[in-house]
Chain A
Amino acid sequence: MESTIYRFIIRYSLRQQIILTIMAGLSFPFLYALYEVPKIIINKGISAKGIEYPTDIFGIELTQIQYLLALCGLFLVLVVINQAFKYVINVYRGLTGERMLRRLRFQLYFRLLRFPLPTFRKMSQGEIIPMITQEVETLGGFIGDAFSLPAFQGGTLLVILGFLLVQDPVMAAAAVALYPLQAFLIPRLQRQVNLLGKERVRLVRRLSDRIGETVQGVQEVHAHDTSALMLSDFSHRMSSIFFVRFDIYQKKFVIKFLNNFIQQLGPFFFYSIGGYLVITGSLEIGTLVAAIAAHKDMAAPWKELLTYYQQKEDARIKYEQVIEQFSPSGIAEDGFDVPHVTEVPPLSEQIVVSNLGMVDEQDNPFIEGVSLQLKLPSFVALVGPSGSGREELALALARLRQPDSGSIRIGDIDLANADSAMTGRRISYVGPSGFIFNTTLGDNLFYSLRHLPLGEPERDETMEQAHKRYVQEAIRSGNSPDDITSDWTDYAAAGATDYSSLVARGLQALAIVSLDQDVYQFGLRSTIDPVAHPDWAEAILKARESFARHVASNESYAGMIEPFDVERYNSNATLAENLMFGTPTDETFDINRLAENPYVLEVLEEAGLTRTLLENGYEVATLMVELFADLPPDHEFFQQYSFIAADDLEDFQSLVTRVKRDRLDDLKPEERTRLLSLPFKLIQARHRLGVISDETMASIVTARKIFAEKLPDDLKGKVAFFDVDSYNAASNIQDNILFGRIAYGQAQASDKIGALVGEVVAELDLYDTITSVGLGFEVGIAGTRLNVGQRQKLALARAIIKRPDLLIISEATAALDSATQQKIMASVLEEFKGRSVVWSLHRPKDAKAFDHVVVLQGGRIVEQGPFQDLDRDGSAYRQLIAAS
């Protein structure tokens, strides 16, 4: 990248900078006129010096008043023109700055993607993020100003100076007499501020790195009670930053002080020397006043120039500091675009590793003189104790680590120089902790197929316009013009032709890694949009019918599920669900806020339930107070069981002691709301509090009809009602199939019902559909909503689905139990028949299933060959097994 910010500016925005400078130049005559016109107004218009009225302007005869008004009009026009120039220049400057900022960020991010991988061991997220985000932020503003500001303000200064020169050369010289002093002093002081500025940037980077580390390691902090240590460390860092910043302030204000002082020295000289000259009669008083006024006018642009100088220094340092970090050794210096390679030939038939050596940061070798010849396709096992170099060898084969000596050749291509399209599409690598992105499970699975945008998406008129604008701007700032909304998925690479066949392939890959059951479960717990997928909704409704038939016909399911029936209270559902007889679609009817909902209150009133529910609420509160009053507030029971949060318990306690049950009318409105909100969460069969009587249940069944009938238009759609004949979009698939609630208190009900759902799903051939819905499961930040095993399986499935010629696996199933590991290994090898697998094995015993076994020890190959050759007494392989 360009080593200084000026080179960067000139290389990418020379044209814009010239335009800006020209615009600034063009504005000067008008600026000069703006100074000239008032003089004419005063001299000719008002004082009528050197002019006779009526006067003749461009053949029009004007009186003095008319002439004055004409001049004032001209003055107004000039003001508008000057401001218009300023506006246009500012907008264009902003545009240029923003484009350049966008380009700079893009280039930094681009380089980030190209960093040699070991760089990331020395550079942390916490340092990189602020560099690309906030550190360069101010550069955008500066880049717009880089040439135009000195041109404009410098020009302004010159214009005023020129104006002064024309009036009185001596005074002009006097007005600028002290400028050289400033120009000499300020840079010297500024240099010290610059050094401190550098230090500050460095400290803040380390601080953000530390904060990032704290977030990641917060478990350790809690586990070992090291908060005090962390706080002290943080405090020390803040202290360093504080003193650096304080120093900067002091120095900055010294500069400011000097600046202002020198600025004020001007008038001091004018008053003293000029005054002396006026008194002695060698200077006219009018000239002195004009000089003082001009000096004042020059103050603003001069100040701007000095500020610019400070900003320039600041920007220069920031740029250099960022660029330095983004230029690690070994980074390629060519262009900022990714070639769109569509065709990648299959891997050749042979991999030759010759004399491979790799060293760590202290130059200790962990791979030495490794030579291998692998005929493809074949299954190769790398075995050895940990630290034997097998993991590094696997990384090197995937080109995720550069060898320090020796080479790896695939056919006649040296892997070190191979196109990333080849390594990234024909080879898959899965390590022990494959990263899971914060998106859906499906996006994570198909991530490995998304190399290029394939085909343009369909766009309507407005989208087309927006797209054109996007591309135009992207090109102007050297960004990627690829449309993110295109279909990026390479179906052919996965052996699919369209999305639905891709999903089928995805499900196969999930089955290979034994993740399909989990995804099926995610699917069961997901909602679908029945409008977008009417066929799915219909199929699930069939499943609902079939499920109900099975339950009805088989005695063993009796009492395990309580179906929704509009005529009956469902004692395994909450009171709120019973009242609405449906699922809320948004927060309007959220269970925590039902007691505040005016419509709900209206319905309760009409059904005559208000008083009853209030009493129920009172009883619940009394019970909760009785049960939980003695527990410490942080007791886990509060979270698990209580209807009342620990913090609120005291309020309720005072409420139930203050107000008696038969005096509930005396309650304040907010207390009524609080009490009334309690019974909505009651599940009769689960909580067994016995506060809801049979009559109340009957009234609620009546109330639910009122609720549905009188629902105002603006609330329609806020509740998805339970209707046996229609799909409930607000409920998940499982709830839609069950159309009821699993009964509490029935041993194994949930297992048996789950099994029955499985049967129904199999019977209607819905398993794949539901699993594909599960692909929409949001996995959370770094996949934290999945367990470690699921994450490993997903990373493996992602490597499998792109159908690489060579799959390299390094401890990618370590988090799983050994039975699952075995199962996955068998199915992966089965899937890769006719293709190649290199597997760095955790347990050497597993090598049996491989064609070629490589035994490593201390970074060297001690033995290699077919499994049966190695599996003999006294072999290094046998020793390894004995040791493990």
Chain B
Amino acid sequence: MSLNEEVELLRNIPLFANIEPSKLKLLAFTSERLTFRAGETVCRQGDVGDAAYVIMDGTADVIVDTPSGPLTVAHMGKNDVVGEIAVLIDVPRTATITAQSELTTLRISKDLFFRLVNEFPQMAVEMMRVLAERVVKTTADLQKARQQGQG
């Protein structure tokens, strides 16, 4: 896959949708493309987060360690961004991400990610939107869980 194809792909990702193509090209050029095989770990819960990953192809499992053992909480696929939380705030990785099939990603280093957010306010807004959506979803899940608990 060449740079231009990567740029096309990045443009379809909401987070990057508003960034001009030449900047996306720079993002793609300065990021490392990394392929994981099925079963390989992208990042491990508790590790220090040094990069975010854009999934360009394949699927991944998001697994959280719980007292009762590992629990798969989500599946990620093409155009999803993973690992950005630990990059944004200095917390250890909140989940383990494992490649479910062969997984092609673009690894965006912490430095680069921050620089992008700084340079492109649109990206920050988009990040906020994605995170807010997640909060809404988590809250809904929590409520559902509570109701189930009470019921």
Contact A690 B30 (CB under 8 A): no
Query: How many residue-residue contacts, CB under 8 A, span A and B?
Result: 46
Contact A745 B29 (CB under 8 A): no
Contact A745 B32 (CB under 8 A): yes
In the complex, the chain B residue whose C-beta lies closest to that of A631 is B26
The contact of A747 among B1, B26, B42, by CB within 8 Å, is B42
Residues in A neighbouring B126, C-beta threshold 8 A: none
Contact B1 A627 (CB under 8 A): no
Contact B33 A688 (CB under 8 A): yes
- Kindly state whether residue A640 has any CB partner on chain B within 8 Å: yes
Complexed CA–CA distance, A626 and B25 (Å)? 9
Complexed CA–CA distance, A690 and B35 (Å)? 18
- Kindly state whether residue A748 has any CB partner on chain B within 8 Å: yes
Chain A 613-639 near chain B by CB (<8 Å), digits 1 or 0: 000000000010011101000000100
Contact B40 A748 (CB under 8 A): yes
- Kindly state whether residue B2 has any CB partner on chain A within 8 Å: yes
- Kindly state whether residue A689 has any CB partner on chain B within 8 Å: yes
- Kindly state whether residue A249 has any CB partner on chain B within 8 Å: no
Number of residues from A at the complex interface, CB < 8 A: 18
Residues in B neighbouring A747, C-beta threshold 8 A: 34-37, 40, 42
Contact status of A626 and B33, CB under 8 A, knowing A688-B3, A689-B2, A690-B4: no
Which A723-765 residues have a C-beta within 8 angstroms of B?
A: 744-748
Contact status of A688 and B1, CB under 8 A, knowing A640-B30, A747-B35, A747-B42: yes
Contact A745 B35 (CB under 8 A): yes
Chain A 543-571 near chain B by CB (<8 Å), digits 1 or 0: 00000000000001000000000000000
Complexed CA–CA distance, A747 and B22 (Å)? 27
Residues in B neighbouring A746, C-beta threshold 8 A: 34-35
Contact A627 B26 (CB under 8 A): yes
Contact B22 A627 (CB under 8 A): yes
Residues in B neighbouring A179, C-beta threshold 8 A: none
The contact of B2 among A640, A641, A690, by CB within 8 Å, is A690
Which B35-73 residues have a C-beta within 8 angstroms of A?
A: 35-37, 40, 42
Chain B 1-36 near chain A by CB (<8 Å), digits 1 or 0: 111101000000000000000100110111011111
Residues in B neighbouring A688, C-beta threshold 8 A: 1-3, 6, 28-29, 33
Contact A745 B34 (CB under 8 A): yes
Residues in A neighbouring B3, C-beta threshold 8 A: 623, 687-690
Q: Nearest chain B CB to A873's CB is how many angstroms away? A: 39
Which A388-428 residues have a C-beta within 8 angstroms of B?
A: none
Q: Nearest chain B CB to A874's CB is how many angstroms away? A: 41
Residues in B neighbouring A623, C-beta threshold 8 A: 3, 25
Complexed CA–CA distance, A689 and B30 (Å)? 12
Complexed CA–CA distance, A8 and B6 (Å)? 79
Contact B30 A641 (CB under 8 A): yes
Residues in A neighbouring B42, C-beta threshold 8 A: 747
In the complex, the chain B residue whose C-beta lies closest to that of A743 is B35
Complexed CA–CA distance, A745 and B3 (Å)? 13
Complexed CA–CA distance, A630 and B26 (Å)? 11
Complexed CA–CA distance, A745 and B106 (Å)? 9
Complexed CA–CA distance, A747 and B6 (Å)? 18
Contact A626 B2 (CB under 8 A): no
Residues in B neighbouring A745, C-beta threshold 8 A: 32-35
Residues in A neighbouring B36, C-beta threshold 8 A: 747
Complexed CA–CA distance, A747 and B55 (Å)? 14
Residues in B neighbouring A630, C-beta threshold 8 A: 22
Residues in A neighbouring B26, C-beta threshold 8 A: 627-628, 637
Residues in B neighbouring A637, C-beta threshold 8 A: 26, 30
Contact A627 B29 (CB under 8 A): yes
Complexed CA–CA distance, A690 and B1 (Å)? 8
Q: Nearest chain A CB to B110's CB is how many angstroms away? A: 14
In the complex, the chain B residue whose C-beta lies closest to that of A635 is B115
In the complex, the chain B residue whose C-beta lies closest to that of A636 is B111
Complexed CA–CA distance, A99 and B150 (Å)? 101
Chain B 92-109 near chain A by CB (<8 Å), digits 1 or 0: 000000000000000000
Chain B 107-134 near chain A by CB (<8 Å), digits 1 or 0: 0000000000000000000000000000
Residues in A neighbouring B32, C-beta threshold 8 A: 744-745
Q: Nearest chain B CB to A529's CB is how many angstroms away? A: 35
Residues in B neighbouring A640, C-beta threshold 8 A: 30
Q: Nearest chain B CB to A400's CB is how many angstroms away? A: 41
Complexed CA–CA distance, A746 and B29 (Å)? 17
Complexed CA–CA distance, A644 and B145 (Å)? 57
In the complex, the chain B residue whose C-beta lies closest to that of A628 is B26
Complexed CA–CA distance, A535 and B13 (Å)? 56
Residues in B neighbouring A690, C-beta threshold 8 A: 2-4
Complexed CA–CA distance, A556 and B25 (Å)? 32
Residues in B neighbouring A641, C-beta threshold 8 A: 29-30
Residues in B neighbouring A626, C-beta threshold 8 A: 22, 25
Residues in A neighbouring B35, C-beta threshold 8 A: 745-747
Residues in B neighbouring A628, C-beta threshold 8 A: 26
**Most chain-A CB neighbours within 10 Å: which of B1, B2, B28, B29?**
B29
In the complex, the chain A residue whose C-beta lies closest to that of B106 is A745
Residues in A neighbouring B2, C-beta threshold 8 A: 688-690
Complexed CA–CA distance, A745 and B105 (Å)? 9
Residues in A neighbouring B25, C-beta threshold 8 A: 623, 626-627
**Most chain-B CB neighbours within 10 Å: which of A623, A747, A748?**
A747
Q: List 29 A-B contacts (CB under 8 A).
A: A556-B37, A623-B3, A626-B22, A626-B25, A627-B22, A627-B26, A630-B22, A637-B30, A640-B30, A641-B29, A641-B30, A687-B3, A687-B29, A688-B2, A688-B3, A689-B2, A690-B2, A690-B3, A744-B32, A744-B33, A745-B32, A745-B35, A746-B34, A746-B35, A747-B35, A747-B37, A747-B40, A747-B42, A748-B40
Known: A626-B25, A687-B29. 9 other contacts (CB 8 A): A626-B22, A627-B26, A630-B22, A688-B1, A689-B2, A690-B3, A745-B32, A745-B35, A747-B35
Which residues of A are interface residues toward B (Cβ below 8 A)?
556, 623, 626-628, 630, 637, 640-641, 687-690, 744-748
A-B interface, 9 closest residue pairs, ranked by CB to CB distance from nearest: A690-B2, A747-B36, A745-B33, A627-B26, A688-B3, A747-B34, A641-B30, A745-B35, A688-B2
